[in-house]
């Protein structure tokens, strides 16, 4: 069978899509870091549930705003009880939702003897049962317990930056003390979201991930996913700006002024030989990182 150019292009694009590589030719680099936030076990309540647990006409008290716009940690706490065990002092998140949802780690679920499904927040299919106890009353919350599926929140602008779309599944690398790559991360794109990957405590502990951790797409598509049309034209010198300023909170992790060997390797993948990397003045480039750039004949430019 003969394949024409169009067939081949479609096949290549299909393969790249399957790899989770994003079409980011010439665009911003999808290897840029994003915040990784760890969610502790918590309960989302309805208005009715709040009244049962805390009293008639009760309103949750805001203790701390969370990164996702509008969401807050309430001062109120509850206890989770099953025939196999109990967990005290469980956080309650507001504002009230349409359904009661209890998000536990797999370890928590095990300690309560629950078989809970790994679902995205909002999907209660197959969810397990638990008794929630508050200071004013108890609520048997059947079909409420899930183990939250790890996900990446993005605004439409973030999604464009990383070359991702809503529902896309990606792999995320976190270079922590015990480096780890998470597979099956679901992208959730909405204008009322803030850029962050959410994982639970089991996942965080597996990678020894603390506050200010950042993740990067494991298959940064920049070097490999140029559309066939762009690949055919003369190779262009590409530049890479590692410090992408985005309007998300907790910028500390993103203004890191250090380029390590691992960073350099990642950056190198997105730049042609003989290309230039622009980095903010004052950035420390480790000797090993410098070697990587020198060997790839990539020029460093401080801007
Ligand atoms: Zn989330």
Per-residue pLDDT of the chain (303 residues; tens, 9 = 90+): 455 555 555 554 544 444 444 444 444 567 889 999 999 999 999 999 999 999 999 999 999 999 888 999 999 999 999 999 999 999 999 999 999 999 999 999 999 999 999 999 999 999 999 999 999 999 999 999 999 999 999 999 999 989 999 999 999 999 998 999 999 999 999 999 899 999 999 999 999 998 889 999 987 655 433 333 333 333 343 444 333 333 333 333 333 466 777 777 767 766 667 777 777 666 777 777 888 888 888 888 776
How many other CB atoms are there within 10 angstroms of residue 137's CB atom? 13
Q: How far is the CA of 155 from the centre of ligand 1 (A)?
A: 13
How many whole angstroms from 138 Cα to the centroid of ligand 1? 27
Tell me, in angstroms, the distance from the centre of ligand 1 to residue 238's CA: 34
Q: State both tokens at 141.
A: 């919350």
Per-position DSSP letters for 42-99, written without gaps between them: EEE--HHHHHHHH-TT--PPEEEE-SSTT-EEEEEEEEEEETTEEEEEEEEEES--SS
198 CA from centroid of ligand 1 (Å): 5
- In angstroms, what CA-CA distances link 8 with 60, 137, 144, 163, 222? 58, 64, 48, 22, 20
Rounded Cα–Cα distance for residues 54 and 248 (Å)? 34
Structure tokens at 206: 């597996």
Q: Which residue has the tokens 């990678």?
A: 207
In angstroms, what is the span from residue 2 Cα to ligand 1's centroid?
A: 47
Q: How far is the CA of 276 from the centre of ligand 1 (A)?
A: 36
Residue 188 CA, ligand 1 centroid: distance in Å: 9
For residue 135, give the nearest of 45, 52, 63 by alpha carbon.
52
Residue 193 CA to ligand 1 center (angstroms) comes to 9
Distance 26 CA to ligand 1 centre (A): 30
Is the model's pTM score more than 0.85?
no
């Amino acid at each position: 069978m003969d394949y024409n150019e169009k067939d081949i292009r479609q096949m290549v694009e299909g393969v790249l899509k399957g790899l989770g590589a994003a079409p980011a030719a010439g665009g911003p680099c999808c290897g840029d870091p994003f915040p990784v936030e760890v969610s502790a076990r918590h309960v989302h309540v309805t208005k009715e549930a709040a009244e049962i647990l805390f009293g008639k006409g009760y309103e949750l008290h805001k203790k701390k705003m969370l990164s996702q716009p509008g969401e807050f940690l309430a001062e109120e706490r509850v206890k989770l009880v099953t025939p196999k065990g109990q967990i005290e002092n469980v956080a309650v998140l507001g504002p009230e939702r349409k359904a009661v949802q209890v998000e536990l780690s797999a370890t928590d679920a095990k300690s309560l003897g629950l078989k809970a499904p790994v679902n995205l927040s909002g999907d209660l299919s197959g969810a397990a049962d638990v008794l929630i106890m508050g200071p004013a009353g108890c609520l048997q919350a059947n079909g409420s317990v899930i183990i939250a599926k790890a996900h990446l929140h993005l605004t439409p602008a973030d999604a464009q930056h990383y070359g991702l779309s809503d529902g896309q599944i990606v792999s995320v690398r976190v270079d922590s003390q015990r480096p780890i790559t998470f597979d099956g991360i679901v992208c959730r794109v909405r204008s009322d979201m803030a850029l962050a990957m959410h994982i639970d405590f089991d996942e965080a502990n597996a990678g020894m991930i603390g506050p200010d951790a950042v993740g990067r797409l494991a298959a940064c598509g920049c070097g490999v996913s140029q559309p066939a049309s762009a690949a055919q034209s003369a190779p262009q010198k590409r530049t890479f700006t590692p410090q992408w300023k985005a309007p998300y909170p907790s910028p500390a992790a993103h203004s890191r002024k250090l380029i390590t060997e691992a960073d350099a390797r990642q950056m190198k993948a997105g730049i042609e030989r003989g290309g230039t990397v622009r980095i903010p003045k004052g950035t420390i480039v480790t000797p090993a990182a410098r070697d990587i750039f020198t060997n790839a004949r990539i020029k460093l430019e401080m801007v």
